Amino acid sequence: MRELLELLEQDARRPVSELAPILKKSEYEVEQDIKKLEKDKVILAYNTLIDWEKFGDDHVTAMIEVNLTPEREVGFDAIAERIYRFDEVRTVYLMSGSFDLMVIIEGKSLREVANFVAKRLSTIDGVTATRSHFMLKPYKKDGVIIHDEERDRRLVVSP
Amino acid sequence: MAETSIDWNERLSTSVRSIAPSGIRKFFDIAAKMEDVISLGVGEPDFVTPWPIRESCIYGLEQGYTSYTANRGLIELRQEIANMYAREYDLHYAPDTDILVTVGVSEAMDLAMRALLEPGDEVLIPEPCYVSYAACTTLAGGVPVAVPAKLENEFRITAAELEQYVTPKTKVLLIGYPNNPTGAIMTRQDFEQIADFAEQHDLIVISDEIYGALTYGDEPHACFAAMPRMQERTVLLNGFSKAYAMTGWRIGYAMGNPAIIAAMTKIHQYTMLCAPVTAQVGAIEALRHGEKARLKMLHEYDRRRRLIYDGLTKLGLTCFEPKGAFYIFPDITSSGYTSDEFAEQLLQTEHVALVPGTAFGACGEGHVRCSYATSIDKISEALTRIEHFLKHHKK
């Protein structure tokens, strides 16, 4: 199963006809394995990594350090949920260290993101402080180097 | 250059004239003119050298590692090589006397041949094998004696086959497993009879184990020098090109008895002086911290191996499941073509490059070498194209 997950993590679009021989299983078996992993929510989603900037869209990405006052019984979870339910919020991590949540927000403009932080995020009960950092340039995302200049420089045929 | 009155061909040495240029050139020239070639013809990893190794070399350059090193190579590197063999195979080589760092296994091979051979000495070479074995033998004044290995035996060589070719003039047995081009390996059990054969005929064994770190399945790599009593009669050659994707760095090594290593060092010091220092720095990093990257690449080759073996078998091309290196060597006789025709037709019509088996010895006829050191996507596409070729262009 690990092998199957690694292969799909590399490329979610791999056809079962390609996965089966690599895994030395039948196509039917691989299909069943994938279904089970999806059902068990081991596989959460199949996303596509897109260079929106190259496509021509201007996006603003901000990383916001959020400090919280934990609540009795539920700790940080309930506040985290109130935050991650917003569509603008792409990613939320509970962190160790000098702040509690790392919230990554994407918006169309600086104003939109600033508005979200000022009006939505910082007004949530339990949020005691926020510090926003705007992303200037991505170099690598989810293991993919954005502008990778490395290419196959080998001779076409060699002994 | 302008024409001269000198006939240079006439001035060339007999030994150089007697060796044929590599049969691969033709395919290279055709493929170079095409844009959408998928190449299964490359004898090197598709990975770039792992970043930590490259980064350590950059640091080395910044620190001023730009001078000659000891002829035998940096002592730290020789020590790491010795450590690795002690750890992996319980084989003990003294860094001071038993190890020579060379410019790839290619140089080590040449040095070993020149250090060992007298004119007329015969070298037993199981074929199919790497393209340089016979040429190195000839250039050193020896006589290469090809011993054909068989598909039905998964291209492993047997003592009985070697016996048919051994003569009183035989001095060296040259073996290369895991094998380029067949992907064959020799198990310890297979090597037992080869060890007995070498002992019986008192042969020196040169063992090219450049693909030793690339074996698949449950059978670990069998190091010939680690066979009982074989360390003393073996010149063991290895390097960093394949395991750590460092082909262009040109860095390898030879290990063996102090006398042969001293003799090889003598030639090396007058012809090469030392291996490039930056490559030596990279090699140290590879041995100290390269294991994780090596295993990651190995794992990736293994996936491709299973895919291409399955694919070629389903196309009706007989092959055995390769256990080492990154090659598969299917039988293409069912297509009606010779190896050379098959490779050329496939390249011309489907733009898939591979290497005819005959490039690796006459007994490679009827086979082609496919390298799976290329991405899964490309292997899949190549298999589709080969399928199309077999359907529409069969002779």
Q: Is B28 on the interface with A (CB under 8 A)?
A: yes
pLDDT digits (tens, 9 = 90+) for A101-132: 999 999 999 999 999 999 999 999 999 999 99
DSSP string, B71-134: TT--HHHHHHHHHHHHHHH-----TTTSEEEESHHHHHHHHHHHHHPPTT-EEEEEES--THHH
CA-to-CA separations, A19 to A14, A62, B240, B294, in angstroms, rounded? 7, 38, 31, 23
| Closest CB to B42 among A14, A18, A157 | A157
- Comparing alpha-carbon positions, the chain A residue that sits nearest to B33 is A156
B13-49+293-390 topology per CATH: Aspartate Aminotransferase, domain 1 (3.90.1150)
Q: Pairing state of beta strands B352-353 and B38-39?
A: parallel
Residue A157 to residue B353, Cβ atoms within 8 A: yes
Q: With a cut of 90, say whether residue B356 has pLDDT above it.
A: yes
Q: With a cut of 90, say whether residue B296 has pLDDT above it.
A: yes
pLDDT digits (tens, 9 = 90+) for B374-384: 999 999 999 99
DSSP string, B151-162: GGGTT---HHHH
pLDDT digits (tens, 9 = 90+) for B176-214: 999 999 999 999 999 999 999 999 999 999 999 999 999
- Average of pLDDT values for B357-369? 95
Interface of A with B in 1-40 (CB under 8 A): 3, 7, 11, 14, 18, 21-24
Structure tokens at B116: 């060992």
The CA distance from A16 to the nearest CA of chain B, in Å, is 12
Single pTM value for the model: 0.93
The CA distance from A45 to the nearest CA of chain B, in Å, is 22
Alpha carbons A132 and A67: distance in angstroms, whole number: 12
pLDDT of residue B21: 82
Selection from B231, B225, B252, B263 nearest residue B111 by Cα: B263
- Average of pLDDT values for A80-87? 94
- Average of pLDDT values for B269-292? 97
pLDDT digits (tens, 9 = 90+) for B233-255: 999 999 999 999 999 999 999 99
Question: Which overall architecture, per CATH, does domain B51-290 show?
Answer: 3-Layer(aba) Sandwich (3.40)
pLDDT digits (tens, 9 = 90+) for B40-61: 999 999 999 999 999 999 999 9
Q: Does domain A52-137 have CATH number 3.30.70.920?
A: yes
The CA distance from B303 to the nearest CA of chain A, in Å, is 5
What SS3 class is residue B359? helix
Q: In what order do the strands lie in the sheet with B143-148?
A: B99-102, B252-255, B234-239, B204-208, B170-175, B122-127, B143-148
Q: Which residue has the tokens 């250059």?
A: B1
| Closest CB to A150 among B28, B48, B380 | B48
pLDDT digits (tens, 9 = 90+) for A47-63: 999 998 899 988 899 99
Alpha carbons B111 and B100: distance in angstroms, whole number: 10
Alpha carbons A120 and B76: distance in angstroms, whole number: 60
Find out whether B145 and B123 touch, Cβ atoms under 8 Å. Answer: yes
- Average of pLDDT values for B317-327? 95
Where are the domains positioned within chain A?
A: 2-39, 52-137
**Within 10 A of B117 (CB to CB), how many other CB atoms are there?**
22
Residues with Cβ < 8 Å from B325, sequence gap 6 or more? B178, B179, B180, B183, B211, B214, B242
The three-point CA angle B278-B284-B290 to 5° equals 115
Residue A159 to residue B311, Cβ atoms within 8 A: no
pLDDT of residue A72: 78
| Closest CB to A158 among B44, B306, B307 | B44
Q: State the Cα torsion B113-B81-B241-B365 to the nearest 10°.
A: 50
- Comparing alpha-carbon positions, the chain A residue that sits nearest to B379 is A18
The CA distance from A138 to the nearest CA of chain B, in Å, is 20
**Within 10 A of B198 (CB to CB), how many other CB atoms are there?**
25
Residues with Cβ < 8 Å from A150, sequence gap 6 or more? B48
Where are the domains positioned within chain B?
A: 13-49+293-390, 51-290
ipTM metric: 0.86
Q: Is A158 on the interface with B (CB under 8 A)?
A: yes
Find out whether B272 and B102 touch, Cβ atoms under 8 Å. Answer: yes
- Average of pLDDT values for B90-117? 98
Residue ranges with strand state E in chain B? 38-39, 99-102, 122-127, 143-148, 170-175, 204-208, 234-239, 252-255, 327-328, 352-353, 355-356, 368-371
